[in-house]
Structure 1
Amino acid sequence: MRAWTVSYLALKGGQREVKVHVSPEPRMDFLHKNFVYRTLPFDKFVQRAAEAKHTDFFISEDESYYLRSLGEDARKEPADLRKQFPELAEDFQIPEFFEPEQFFSSVFRISSPGLQLWTHYDVMDNLLAQVTGRKRIVLYSPKDALYLYLTGDKSEVLDIDNPDLQRYPEFVKACRYECVLEPGDLLFIPALWFHNTLALEFGIGVNVFWRHLTPESYDKKDPYGNKDPVAATRALQALERTLGILEELPSDHRDFYARRMVLRIQNRAYLREPSEAEYETLQKHSCLTHSD
């Protein structure tokens, strides 16, 4: 926490080239790609990311930067701080919250002040260690997925603080959990929990991901660790085929059998909903509805 200053990072990280996101605005949008990828020596990148205004820039003097470190072969190998940045890895101890053989990746995350990343979920449990700077994290439960307007693993609602409720009226039903990470804080983000991050200051974090399911549950060709589990992918593919078959029916029949299918899914796959008494207890200790 004390050591990782800009000058120290630049010295220890050296001139290793890194691929970074560069955006003309601080709210990055992965769905519509409002950023470009550029390559910089690590020491130059850290210096630029810490600045509010830039004398050297790609797009504009107030552009924002974001680094999500990659493996040696980004298409095949997960990121590992110990391999990509061994000098800096000596300063960081991976918390022992899982067995060593479950380890998947350790990812450097460095962002400009004010940078906000899109809401998304990961398929592995992970720990976010905030080493320097302050970062706001907003989380949503997997049970609120229906209200987040998903495209793949990402929410279409970019501005979660002032959402466009004409486009996303159901978003108000999603229960929001929020915290601010201070330097030295560690946040456990369970698999499938949606999260949105906002760098309140220039800061550095390390994400540590591990396989909490059996190894065969994961796609072996997934160096980022963000592809859905193999069984989930098969189920979603089967759903697309089923929807295609339903298209052969008239609209009223399609509606009827689709509703029957939804009911089957609810009965077979949904977790049990809490009783009224349990729900009241949850409300007292958790999130109130928006009508309250």
Structure 2
Amino acid sequence: MDNFLIQVTGKKRVVLFSPRDAQYLYLSGTKSEVLNIDNPDLAKYPLFSKARRYECSLKAGDVLFIPALWFHNIISEEFGVGVNVFWKHLPSECYDKTDTYGNKDPTAASRAAQILDRALKTLAELPEEYKDFYARRMVLHIQDKAYSKNFE
């Protein structure tokens, strides 16, 4: 969900990454495997250097808008209190009704990920050469459909 981070007391450093840079963030679920974003292991995470950082410092009284889908890393520089205010901007049926904090993916995205997982498990039944071929075809098909102007 969209979010206002309101810094009441103390200081925080906030680093944001656009959702368009997800391919460089080594995602595992909704989190990045890159834990030290200031000194990443580029041998292990070589694409991370391509991700564009947006960085700011928050002090008491500052408010930061964090758009939905933007990855963020927040480091407290001193003891403080921050308040997050989330709001839903998609139709209510898009959200998981049990998701109090807006941390879950929209229900359609969750269903799509489950379908993809089942498809990949099915491909795993094939010999390696065939699995590789059909997986690459699936990736091309997803790219073609997901990034076309006529997304269906």
TM-score, scaled to structure 1: 0.49
CA contact 2:86–2:101 (8 Å) conserved in 1: no
Q: Structure 1 CA distance, aligned partners of 2:112 and 2:93?
A: 16
The alpha-carbon deviation at position 266 of structure 1 amounts to: 1.3
Higher relative contact order (CA 8 A, sep 6+): 2
Matched, 1:156 2:33: yes
Match of 1:268, SS?
Answer: helix
Q: Which amino acid aligns with 2:105?
A: D
- Secondary structure of the residue that 1:128 maps to in structure 2? strand
1:269–1:138 distance in 2 versus 1, CA, 3 Å = same
Residue 138 (1) aligns with residue 44 (2): no
CA RMSD of aligned residues (A): 1.4
Instruction: Find the partner of 1:168 among 37, 45, 48.
Output: 45
User: Is there any run of 5+ residues in structure 2 with no aligned partner, and where?
Assistant: none
Deviates more, 1:246-255 or 1:229-238: 246-255
CA deviation profile, 1:36-76 (whole Å, cap 9, x unmatched): xxxxxxxxxxxxxxxxxxxxxxxxxxxxxxxxxxxxxxxxx
Separation in structure 2 between the aligned mates of residue 270 and residue 174 of structure 1, nearest angstrom:
20
For structure 1, the residue ranges without an aligned partner over 5 or more in a row are: 1-123, 273-292
- Secondary structure of the structure 1 residue equivalent to 2:103: coil
In our comparison, the structure showing a higher alpha carbon Rg is 1
The offset of 1:271, in angstroms, is 7.1
Q: Counterpart of 2:4 in 1: which secondary structure?
A: strand
Sequence identity of aligned pairs in percent? 68
The partner residue of 1:242 within 119, 123, 140 is 119
CA displacement at 1:135 relative to structure 2: 1.1
- Stretch moving more, 217-226 or 233-242: 217-226
Q: Deviations over 1:115-166 (max 9, x none)?
A: xxxxxxxxx1111111222211001111111211112111111111011122
Change (3 A) 1:125 1:271: farther
Quick one: which of 94, 103, 115 aligns to 1:217? Answer: 94
Amino acid of the structure 2 residue aligned with 1:219: D
Partners of 1:156 and 1:212 in 2: CA distance:
29
Matched, 1:251 2:128: yes
Structure 1 residue aligned with 2:78 = 201
CA shift digits 1:267-289 (9 cap, x unpaired):
221377xxxxxxxxxxxxxxxxx
Cα distance change on mapping 1:213 and 1:226 into 2, 3 Å: same
